[in-house]
Chain A
């Protein structure tokens, strides 16, 4: 059936669509989104297109400069490091580890934080208060310090640093969710839903959660950039991912010895971290502004 647009000249966007329209107006944030999209594709598909493994050593080409250098070779596009491992491969795998791990950390922290926050927001009195401030003590200590404490107890390793960062990210999700649920709970549409016979759980999932999704996305992007920085910082300090692993922070600390001879081996992973964090922050900031503009409209 041909869809005529005679009567649809007034187009009414849905809330999500409205936020997207607002977001598109911010060109820098849009560029950040493209950059982030590129990284996501790289993480998902990159390893399939690379001829080398992240641990393969080419002893004929040690400390080979990148391909654009006069001494470079096109087989190793980003050059090689001190023991002849292909840097492009390692950076792509490093992005996969750093970005992927951070993504799951944030997802887990969000899930746990939101459930606790929602429960705190829906319950009343002393219980709500206790739940709400259960993990507040963690907020007083910087993420890195918590991670160092946990690593000191459980030993080094990517897994332990993951636990530490998840734990550190949870309280802010609890607080934001709780505040939001509290705020929305007083609104009349919740009373209306209650008069429809909705239970507390149904009110949360069907009435409040649809209003919260955008806030959660914004908070998650902010948490994602924090998580990436922390994971690589712990890797750099040799507290997180350990040496042969191509985690970006661990790669940086590896390359520190050869930094003067082969500056590319430290600048390329560094640039990857920088671009990832920058693009995520741009997207997060753009989303926040878009959301604010939409709500204030």
Chain B
């Protein structure tokens, strides 16, 4: 499993190199190479996770290493999907290294796979985790697009075009792709939360137990709900939407890491070292 994950990391890193080279040289072939490597990495990553699951008999999400690996996988996969739809090449410069970094962290923290308690074997749980992570990955991409948007907006407003103007896509394309990412992320998060409620009901007998992670997930959900509502009814787009996507992701990161390290609760088991 470790050597598999190692190969995945190499592929992600090579893909990052391809995308970086593309950013500087602007040769279509480099972009294709970057995408191909990332896609190979994603396929192999899928195999790695399935293989790990087959060894322990459930989805491997019981320590920080395993959850990070899933997060890296979700980002790579979702980016590939968005790439098919929007062909926003430059996003690879963000997505590929992000997947690589997260997967590297996963490998560094890697421990023996845990055979967890009975309570963790439920389809609702698997569904809960997969949708939540896909949602998180979509929000991660939205954050990256938000950053790209701010850079390109600054370039255009300051009228000094330099390095980025040519290399980054149009504001409208970045904005609408970012919006699509948030919509996907929000949908996934909503489904994931519901799956979590149902699972909680079956295990603890109640939907909601004021666990810190639950509370922060709720806050994240509200934040993105506000972003989508603002866009639909008040026309929050462009800069405002970009900044909100970035803030949303920071809160999300806190929900993912901070809550586990700083606050106690029943989600702690998923991110223990």
Q: Do A and B bind each other?
A: no
